[in-house]
Amino acid sequence: MNRTALITGASSGIGKATAIALARENFNLILCGRRTEKLQELNDFLKDTPTHLLNFDVREKEKINEAIQSLPENFKEIDVLINNAGNAHGLDFIQDGDLNDWDAMIDINVKGLLYVSNAIIPGMVKRKRGHIINIGSTAGKEVYPKGNVYCASKHAVNALTEGMRLDLNGMGIKVGAIHPGIVETDFSNVRFKGDSHRAKKVYEGFRALQPRDIADIIAFTVTRPCHVNIADIMVMSTAQASSTIIDKSEVAI
């Protein structure tokens, strides 16, 4: 019997790549996101994989609960939860920060992860099995200039992962986190609010991680034997040594 994985933020980037990777591992997939048309495109691409689409914003806890409760019987038992949805908004010194940007990062990266987890973990506890993967960031391991609130939100993801692992110990539920460095996605375009020139410069001069790189790690992590839990991984491109130290010479390309 195929296992079922629920992926938030599945419409693009790491979430989309993870769906494709897990389809290759014969998972049934619950694809969640805000952009219905993007989810449908992915669904069409995965035509040979049993899928179910859920349209919600992770900030809206009532809609999340309604969506999870609406799952058909053959998708109700969620074996793997990939808390992937997350965003960065703005890159400002703390004294210049936009309160709306702060709210968005806390609401999506922290509260959104909690809302989705709260809707799914009780079923895992009842069944005495499950696997939770939280997608963090190297920003959850260090702090960089102008990263203040974003870094705080990803530090929270790191702490929540550790807290989940402690609280769920002995219940047959694995908990782990994957913390990527710079991954070439729409992430920077969102952070810089559509300034594509500024976003593009983030990835210039070196070979950044690609969504599939992270997806392959996720697929490996969730297919380990039942007694093996990969608790914490930090992954960067070869050119990246920290959030602010990146080799952008030709050697790194």
Residue pair 180/157 in contact (Cβ under 8 Å)? The answer is no
Q: Confidence band (pLDDT; 50, 70, 90) for 27?
A: very high
Mind listing the pLDDT tens digit for each residue in 213-231? 999 999 999 999 999 999 9
- Give pTM, 2 decimals: 0.94
What average pLDDT score do residues 225-244 get?
A: 96
What average pLDDT score do residues 72-94 get?
A: 95
> Does residue 144 have an active-site annotation?
no
Domain hosting 139: range is 4-252
What CATH number has the domain bearing residue 187?
3.40.50.720
Q: How many domains does the chain have?
A: 1
Beta-sheet strands, E only, within 144-222: 173-180
CA distances to 113, 137, 139, 212 from 234, in Å: 19, 8, 10, 15
Residue pair 30/120 in contact (Cβ under 8 Å)? The answer is no
Mind listing the pLDDT tens digit for each residue in 112-154? 999 999 999 999 999 999 999 999 999 999 999 999 999 999 9
Beta-sheet strands, E only, within 103-249: 130-135, 173-180, 232-235
